Amino acid sequence: MRSYRVHAFGEPSSMVIDELDAPVPGDEEVLVDVEAIGLNFPDVLVIRGQYQFLKSLPFTPGKDFAGVVRAVGSAVRGIQPGDRVLSHVESGAYAEQALALSRQTYVLPDDMSFSEAAAMGLVYQTAYFALVERARLLAGETVLVGGAAGGIGLATVQVAKGLGATVIAGVRGAEEAALARASGADHTIDLSGDNLRDSIRDQVRALPLEKGGADIVIDPLGGDFFAGAIRALAWCGRLVVIGFAAGEIPTIKVNYLLVKNISVLGIQWSDYRDYTPERVHEAQRALFELWRQGKVRPHIARSVAFEALPEALALVGQGKVRGKAVVTLNKASA
């Protein structure tokens, strides 16, 4: 089977396709014929050697895939060959066949396509845990989402709205604003101007909000967005740090947390996957139910063939993909 491999850290274009022996599942693993792969910004960091977990070379990157189970290990229960599944893995998704632990594999709704499933992987799980587990979202609260037209931003807009929140989408330009509103955002603010430290707060305060600010901020950007968004929090507000797509890791004087009675939290979703897989299953069931209700629908901006994966991933790394990019292997209806 073919697999993308990283032999030296670098840009996505440095990956090569190797011919490897077909994997064999261990006792608690499933072997999946991959039909669709979700591309994520952290994948770019992994390939560059800039992620918080440094992989040993060579390796196959990729964290999300969907497909059909080919074989299962002797200890696997509840999943069988022929099942259509989504799997969340630390690495190994960029291949024609992939292994995953059965506890990190989820049987798909009958009418969900492989492409939709792959697009509803890491970003939707992270959005759900950031909102529900870390921020403790209550129905009717207001959520400000940074980078709201990106993969994780758009997923957060949809999940927050599906859970009953009022959503403010931080976007750049009219096209991104239209996409965010189509995905459920109630309001948009402009992140393309100068002096975000003041302009984010001023734009949020100009909205008709009962508390005069956001109860929750979901921040995948860092940089200047963080500086402005924390000032836009309402009393007892919570800001959840997801990542630093803007490039700069911000700092804060903790006396500001005391004076405003606010909280700053972080989320490393893979810890939940590894340490409390039962909670990830609960989240996946909730996400599938939101999908069945039509409250979440991944926006697939690009669907490319396996051979075009590096080019599509480079665009994700450059922030040029609105929503999700998905790779389809064209072996079945994806």
Find the range with the poorest average confidence among 58-67, 79-88, 245-254: 245-254
The model's pLDDT over 5-53, given as tens digits with 9 standing for 90+, comes to: 999 999 999 999 999 999 999 999 999 999 999 999 999 999 999 988 8
Same domain, 136 and 113: no
Residue 109 lies in a domain: yes
Mean pLDDT for 163-186 is 96
Same domain, 73 and 129: no
Q: Dihedral sign for Cα 131, 198, 234, 174, please.
A: negative
Same domain, 108 and 146: no
Domain final residue pick, 249, 269, 289? 269
Residue 289 lies in a domain: no
Mean pLDDT for 252-263 is 93
14, amino acid identity: S
The model's pLDDT over 217-235, given as tens digits with 9 standing for 90+, comes to: 999 999 999 999 999 999 9
Residue 115 lies in a domain: yes
Same domain, 60 and 131: no
Mean pLDDT of the chain: 94
> How far apart (Å, rounded) are the C-alpha atoms in residues 239 and 33?
39
Count up the domains in the chain and report the number: 2
Q: Is 38 exposed, middle or buried (0-12, 13-18, 19+ CB in 10 A)?
A: buried
**Cis bond leading into 208, ω under 30°?**
no
**Cis bond leading into 58, ω under 30°?**
yes
Same domain, 108 and 50: yes
Contact 8, 313 (CB under 8 A): no
Q: Edge to edge, what strands does the sheet with 263-266 contain?
A: 187-190, 166-171, 142-145, 214-219, 233-241, 263-266
Q: What is the pLDDT of residue 332?
A: 46
Structure tokens at 30: 């499933």
The model carries a pTM of 0.93
Same domain, 188 and 243: yes
Q: What is the pLDDT of residue 193?
A: 82
* Short-list 258, 223, 220, CA closest to 131: 220
Domain final residue pick, 269, 287, 319? 269
Would the pLDDT of 334 be above 80? no
Its domain, for residue 105, covers: 2-120+299-328
Q: Could you tell me the CATH number of the domain that includes residue 205?
A: 3.40.50.720
Question: Hey, how many other C-beta atoms are within 10 angstroms of the C-beta on 285?
Answer: 11
CA 299 to chain centre: 12
Q: Is 255 exposed, middle or buried (0-12, 13-18, 19+ CB in 10 A)?
A: exposed
The model's pLDDT over 113-160, given as tens digits with 9 standing for 90+, comes to: 999 999 999 999 999 999 999 999 998 999 999 999 999 999 999 999
Residue 291 lies in a domain: no
| Contacts for 218 with CB less than 8 Å, ≥ 6 apart | 127, 130, 131, 135, 143, 144, 145, 146, 153, 156, 160, 240, 242
